Chain A
Amino acid sequence: MTEDLQYVGGNYPVHDVAQKVTGELVYGSDFSVPGMLHAKLILSTIPHGVVKRIDTSRAEALPGVIKVFSHENAPMDGFSRARIHPGQDMSFYDETLFSEHVRFVGDRVAAVVATSRATAEKAAALVEIEYEELPAVLTVDEALAPDAPAIHDGGNLLFEHEIEKGERPDLEGAVVVSSCVSTPRIHHAALEPHVCVAQGHSTGGMTVWTTSQGVYAARTVIAELLGLEYHRVRVIKLPMGGSFGGKTEYIIEPVCAFLAHATRRAVKLLLDREECMIATMVRPATRTTVRTACTPDGRLLDFGAASTLDSGGFAASTPDYSIHMCKKVTKIYRVPHYRHEGRVVYTNTPVGGAARGWGAPEMIAASEVHMDRVAAALRLDPVELRLKNMVEPHDTDLVTGLPLGDARVRECLERGSVAFDWAARRARPAGRGRIRRGVGVAAGAHKNGMYGAFPEASNASLKMNEDGTFVLNASLHDTGCGVVTTMRVIVAEVLGVHPDLVAAGEADTATTPFDYGTYGSRVTYVVGECARIVAEKVKDRLLTAAADLLQEPVERLGVADGAVHVRDDRERAIAYRDIARLSQMRHVPSIAASTTYYAVSNPASYSVQFAEVEVDCATGLVAVTDFLAVADVGRAINRGMVEAQYQGAVQMGIGYALYEHLDVDEKGRAGVDGFKNYHIVNAPDMPDVQVLLVEHEGDDGPFGAKSVGEIATVPTAAAVVNAVNNALGTELGDLPLTPERIIAALHGEEVAACSSC
């Protein structure tokens, strides 16, 4: 363990907490610029068809309406909402600003620009649209039927992939177990809706303010689509009220930018909740069958999986998302042979795409529910079975070929079992009355950035002010989970100053250096290490300057409390403020440094989670009564924030397991339009979530830190489902386990899966 850390590992509030509490913070929905216009989207009301006629005359006659835009007067070049990088593979350019061929209820048909939001809304209702309806396919099975209507040229099978690694051992005498798990389409449920403001300048350039997870990628998508040079598109990140992946891709930014460019005005596009639910992106529905073979004593010999993913009306990032479903199991278990085939299918439903965990919650639901089936088949305790198969630190991931690093999943399981009193709780009878109690466990894995797949790197500059305070310049994108604070703590630790003395802002393509943004669980591990290194460089400069001033060799100097001191004579010290002043007098350039950091590894982050549930056999309602999340975090930079991340992630995972689903009816309509009828878990139903951190610092993140944001929610749903199955003696695998599904199972009745796969 790293000793003597002064700031790392403490508890710090999110950087803008005071502004949030006082209401001073200007969120995107409150943000305005002088003379700003307002846009309102008009969305398809049918799941599949062609726009035959758009009559905008009544709308455009309304005082205050500037113009109505649609496929008739907007560029119809295809774009990929998922494109991060100009040269990126796996970008599917199947989407246009406005659709002539509409592909789901919620597809963008037109937008009204007006002087006020109310006028834009009123005008939107006056636009008359005539459709020629086409037959719609609302499930994967319908989409793949031989006579199914093609949603895009090339058919509905958007993408297929297959991976096979390792050697299949002799399966003589092996126990074979099969299972199938489906997961629903769900809403990300960030409390803040999608919002963007774009200002078209008379020079032809533009400024875009957005609640995005990556301003450089937003710039790329906007600039390419509008044919602008990159330097003429300035994208600035706004404070963000949650994303969970829902704001990772560029959905409303290109639209808003186009409207601003076309009108040469500032335009705000703010979606309402229903629009966020159906017209942005959903966590895609999946179905995965798993077939394993293992020895009678429980060693995995073969792991085979086949998954199907419902992409919805456009590809977005779903092909890549599906591929990543193949990269989860072998991070957790030693498997001699792994085979996974996946397919991604277009349907006439809301678009699937980036969601926290990027395929991991889906795949881990399938694999960890499966592991409990294997345990049952072998009459092994689920913890015991998992321990027989888990990877050891510094194993290599069979599928990716990358080292797993200081992989502590086994330790998470062992320590968690003790802390949760697993053996005693598991041995307890479920009960025979109305309330049945059960416990479940699941292990999850996720990554740390994009090393191995992408040129993973980040940039940062750090300067010292003349008073000994610091300013970090990096393209930070805080989704609300404390990225800015994390960076300040890292820099503060290196430089021996309180984090309050380090300023850090968020991303702005005009002023902050290139960075991909907040996704891929890369920020702490990659950007954080970049911040640490640049702080080390500034520290070197300080030491060098101080060496002259103190007449001591650098090797004898140390930093603490905002000063450089002589290590074995701490009375002899010089404050940073004085170094700055004296350096300037000596014509020494300011104390500052810049760096580019290239990631050198991509270890796994792990979480093992334990759930206790009580199931009401009369109503089918499940109460999660206790929960323990064990986290292999390497090193917590901001302990309180890590714990809070886990608590929020468990809330999300319980919803995935028990409550949430965004289905469409036979006409392709979602039937939910807000949190009144789309239920997430609220406080009265939340257990007290305990978080146990496993810290080993064996990898290449700053002070040993590894990712938290995504892994935290990866195994939650599986743990809850396993607990319910334990309580009821069932083999439920279609998520969510709604009261209907549970009651039907208890009475031996059938109920359709929510998943469209």
Chain B
Amino acid sequence: MTQTQVLTPASLEELVAALAQATPQTRLLAGGTDLVRELRRPVREPDLLVDLTGLAALSEVRLEEGMLHIGALATFTELQWHPLVREHALCLSLAAAQVGSTQIRNAGTIGGNAANASACADGVTALTALGAVVITVDGAGERRTQSLDDVVLGPGRTSLRYDEAILEFAFPPLDAGHRSAFAKIGSRTAVSVARLSVALVVRFDADAGVLSEARVALGAVGERAFRASELEAKLVGRAADDETARLFADGCVAAVEASIPGRYSLPYKRHAAVGLAYDAWNMLALSAPSEPAWT
């Protein structure tokens, strides 16, 4: 009968040593909200389970050299309430707050969210809008910094090698001139996987009265979260008014249509994207709440 070896590294050195023993059958354990469920019905039992939860340093959130660093083991609950995240990455806090249930948020981690690479991972959608990079380490002790897009490839697929662990994410912090939002539609109010999500980051130039920067990431409408660059370009230079809200909603619909043409869920999602877009837009609180025209 196969045996699974469990290693619980307590330092970076021990982590590297553990990863050096990894094989393609090795699994890394963070919050366990997906992995434990999978291990209960193993297709193939792992030879080695590297339990990352002993690495306290990996749950840190810190500002360093002009970048906000989010440790891979930071839980959604921590991200929801962390003052630095609230101040410099509000959309990530909002996304974390809508993940699963309280229990899932207490255990689930942002690193696991990315490594599991679900197309509807709320954390990944927010990190995509924030322009995050992923910092990893492997069994040789080598560190790599890659864009999130280069790591998360598609449903359950990443570029991570079997001996590579995510240490942290880093991105430029949002400042006082930024506003950000996250909205999602599930099949119910809470404890629901996103069927459609959007993270929105804008910078509003108060003097000029226009948006000087816009980043839009859509989740759960395609293989992975993605930036809607065409829409972003259209938003820049526009006033924060009802017309821009409508343009944002139309742009989200167009991006959804382009991403999942012919998909069974498209007829619903293209309509629902309108409501989602207005929800996110109104969260920015740049103007009085907008509403589309209803018939």
Question: Once the chains bind, are A751 and B188 in contact (CB under 8 Å)?
Answer: no
Task: Specify which of A619, A620, A743 lies most central, judged by the most chain B CB atoms within 10 Å of its CB.
Answer: A619
- Which partner residue on chain A sits nearest B268 by CB separation? A740
CB contact between A681 and one of B41, B188, B267, B292 (< 8 Å): that residue = B188
A725-757 CB contacts (< 8 Å) to partner B = 738-740, 743-744, 746-747, 749, 751
Could you mark each residue 23-64 of chain A with 1 if its beta carbon is under 8 Å from any beta carbon of chain B, else 0? Answer: 000000000000000000000000000000000000000010
Interface positions, chain B 266-295, Cβ under 8 Å from A, are: 267-268, 271-272, 274-276, 278, 291-292, 294
A679 with B188: in contact, given A616-B275, A749-B267 (CB under 8 Å)? Answer: yes
Residue numbers in A under 8 Å from B265 (CB-CB): 740
Q: Could you give, for residues 118-137 of chain A, a 1 whenever the CB lies within 8 Å of some chain B CB and a 0 otherwise? A: 00011000000000000000
Query: A618–B189 contact, CB under 8 A?
Result: no
Contact between chains at A617 and B268 (CB < 8 Å): no
Point out the residues of chain B lying under 8 angstroms from A121, CB to CB.
Answer: 41
Q: Does B268 lie within 8 Å of A433, measured CB to CB? A: no
Chain B residue contacts of A747, Cβ below 8 A: 271
A670 at the interface (CB under 8 A from B): no
Decide: B267 and A685 in contact? CB cutoff 8 A: no
Contact of A619 among B41, B193, B275, B294 (CB under 8 A): B275
Would you call A685 and B189 a contact (CB within 8 A)?
Answer: yes
CB contact under 8 A between A743 and B268, given known A434-B275, A616-B275: yes
> With a CB–CB cut-off of 8 A, which chain B residues contact A434?
275, 278, 291-292, 294
Residues facing B in A427-459 (CB within 8 A) are 432-434
Report the bound CA distance from A268 to B185 in whole Å.
42
Q: Is the CB of A679 within 8 A of B291?
A: no
Binding site secondary structure of chain A = loop
0 or 1 for each of A668-680: is its CB under 8 Å from B? (1 = yes): 0000000011010
The answer to whether B275 touches A740 (Cβ under 8 A) is no
Contact pattern, B 244-276, Cβ under 8 Å of A = 1, otherwise 0: 000000000000000000000101100110111
> Is A88 at the interface (CB under 8 A from chain B)?
no
Q: Does B140 contact A (CB under 8 A)?
A: no
- Point out the residues of chain B lying under 8 angstroms from A619, CB to CB: 185, 272, 275-276
Of the candidates A63, A272, A677, A685, the one whose C-beta lies within 8 Å of that of B190 is: A685
Cα A620 to Cα B272 with chains together (Å)? 8
For the complex, is B5 an interface residue (Cβ under 8 Å from A)? no
Question: Which of B187, B268, B276 neighbours the largest number of chain A CB atoms within 10 Å of its CB?
Answer: B268
- A165, chain B: closest CB distance, angstroms: 42
Known A-B contacts A433-B294, A682-B190; A618 and B275 likewise in contact (beta carbons under 8 Å):
yes
Is A169 among interface residues, defined by CB-CB distance under 8 A? no
**Chain B 72-107, CB within 8 Å of chain A: the 1/0 string?**
000000000000000000000000000000000000
Of B41, B276, B278, most A-chain CB atoms within 10 Å:
B41
Which B residue sits closest to A617, measured CB to CB? B294
Distance to closest chain A CB from B289 (angstroms): 10
Whether, in the assembled complex, A684 has its beta carbon less than 8 Å from a beta carbon of chain B, the answer is yes
Contact of B187 among A122, A679, A744 (CB under 8 A): A679
A679 to B192, alpha carbons, bound, how many Å?
8
Chain A stretch 679-696: residues in CB contact (< 8 A) with chain B? 679, 681-682, 684-685
Q: Which of B163-208 contact A (CB under 8 A)?
A: 185, 187-193
A604-624 residues with Cβ-Cβ distance < 8 A to B are: 616-621, 623
Q: Known contacts being A682-B188, A682-B190, A682-B191, is A618 close to B268, with CB within 8 Å?
A: no
Whether A433 pairs with B291 at a CB distance below 8 angstroms is yes
Residues of B within 8 A of A738 (CB): 187
- A739 and B187 contact, Cβ closer than 8 Å, known pairs A433-B291, A744-B267, A749-B267: yes
Q: Which of B189, B193, B267, B276 contacts A740 (CB under 8 A)? A: B267
Please report which residues of chain A, range 577-623, place their CB below 8 angstroms from some CB of chain B when the two chains form the complex: 616-621, 623
Contacts of A684 on B, CB cut-off 8 Å? 188-191
Closest Cβ–Cβ distance, residue A221 to chain B (whole Å): 30
Looking at the assembled complex, report how far the CB atom of A337 sits from the nearest CB atom of chain B, in whole angstroms.
Answer: 42
Closest chain B CB from A674 CB (angstroms): 8
The smallest beta-carbon distance between A681 and chain B, in angstroms, is: 7
Per-position binary interface string of chain A over residues 414-436, scored 1 when its CB falls under 8 Å from any chain B CB and 0 otherwise? 00000000000000000011100
A666 to chain B, nearest CB (A): 12
Q: How far is the CA of A679 from the CA of B189 in the complex (A)?
A: 11
Q: Is A516 an interface residue (CB 8 A)?
A: no
Q: How far is the CA of A36 from the CA of B271 in the complex (A)?
A: 56
Distance in angstroms between the alpha carbons of A739 and B268 in the assembled complex: 8
Q: Are B268 and A659 in contact (CB under 8 A)?
A: no
Residues on B with C-beta less than 8 A from A616 are 275
Report B116-172 residues with CB < 8 Å from chain A CB: none
Among B188, B265, B272, the one with the most A-chain Cβ atoms within 10 Å of its Cβ is: B188
Query: Hey, which chain B residues are within 8 Å of A739, CB to CB?
Result: 185, 187, 268, 272
| Nearest-CB residue, chain B, relative to A746 | B271
Bound together, the chains give a CA A121 to CA B43 distance in angstroms of 11
B187–A659 touching, CB < 8 Å: yes
Per the bound structure, the CA–CA distance linking A41 and B191 in Å amounts to: 31
CB proximity of B281 to chain A, nearest CB, Å? 12
Please tell me if the beta carbons of B188 and A659 are within 8 angstroms of each other in the complex. Answer: yes
Partner among A272, A432, A685, A744 whose Cβ is within 8 Å of the Cβ of B268: A744
Residue ID in chain B nearest A121 by CB atoms: B41
CB contact under 8 A between A621 and B271, given known A434-B294, A685-B190 = no
Taking a contact as CB atoms under 8 Å apart, the answer to whether A751 and B294 are in contact is no
A180 to chain B, nearest CB (A): 22
Mask for A684-726, Cβ within 8 A of B = 1, else 0?
A: 1100000000000000000000000000000000000000000
A244 to B274, alpha carbons, bound, how many Å? 39
Q: In the assembled complex, which residues on chain A have CB atoms less than 8 Å from the CB atom of B274? A: 618
- Given the complex, which residues of A lie within 8 Å of B294, measured CB to CB? 432-434, 617
Minimal beta-carbon separation of B257 from chain A (angstroms) = 14
A residues in contact with B191, CB < 8 Å: 682, 684
- Chain A residue at minimal CB-CB distance from B43: A125
- Our pick among B41, B192, B193, B272 for the contact of A743 (Cβ within 8 Å) is B272
Contact between A618 and B278 (Cβ–Cβ < 8 Å)?
yes
Question: How many angstroms from the CA of A289 to the CA of B41 in the assembled complex?
Answer: 44
Provide the residues of chain A in CB contact with B292, threshold 8 Å: 434, 618
Query: Which chain B residues border A679 with CB–CB below 8 Å?
Result: 187-188, 192
**Complex contacts, A621 vs chain B, CB 8 Å:** 185, 188-189
Q: Distance in Å from the Cβ of A573 to the closest Cβ of chain B?
A: 56
Q: Which residue of B lies closest to A676 (CB)?
A: B193
CB distance from A233 to the nearest CB of B (A): 33
A685 close to B188 (CB less than 8 A): yes
In angstroms, how far is the closest chain B Cβ from the Cβ of A662? Answer: 14
- Residue among B271, B272, B278, B294 with the most chain A CB within 10 A? B271
Q: Which A residues are CB-close (under 8 A) to B275?
A: 434, 616-619
> Nearest Cβ in chain B — how far from A376, in angstroms?
21
A residues near B278, Cβ cutoff 8 Å: 434, 618
CA distance A749 to B272 in the complex (A): 14
Residue of B nearest to A738 (CB): B187
Complex Cα distance, B192 from A746, in Å, reads 24
Which residues from B are CB-within-8-Å of A620? 268, 271-272
Q: Is the CB of A751 within 8 A of B267?
A: yes
User: How far in angstroms is the closest Cβ of chain B from A433?
Assistant: 6
C-alpha gap A706/B178 in the complex (Å): 63
Residues of A within 8 Å of B185, CB to CB, are 619, 621, 739
User: Which A-chain residue is minimally distant from B279 (CB atoms)?
Assistant: A618
9 A/B residue pairs, CB under 8 Å, sorted by A: A432-B294, A434-B278, A618-B278, A619-B185, A620-B268, A659-B187, A682-B190, A685-B190, A739-B272
Give A residues with C-beta under 8 Å from B.
Answer: 63, 121-122, 272, 432-434, 616-621, 623, 659, 676-677, 679, 681-682, 684-685, 738-740, 743-744, 746-747, 749, 751
Q: Interface of B with A (CB < 8 Å)?
A: 1, 41, 185, 187-193, 265, 267-268, 271-272, 274-276, 278, 291-292, 294
Q: A434-B278, A620-B271 are in contact. List 10 more A-B contacts (CB 8 A).
A: A433-B294, A434-B291, A618-B292, A619-B185, A621-B188, A679-B188, A685-B188, A685-B189, A744-B268, A751-B267
What 6 pairs between A and B have smallest CB-CB spacing? A618-B275, A684-B190, A740-B268, A684-B189, A619-B275, A743-B271
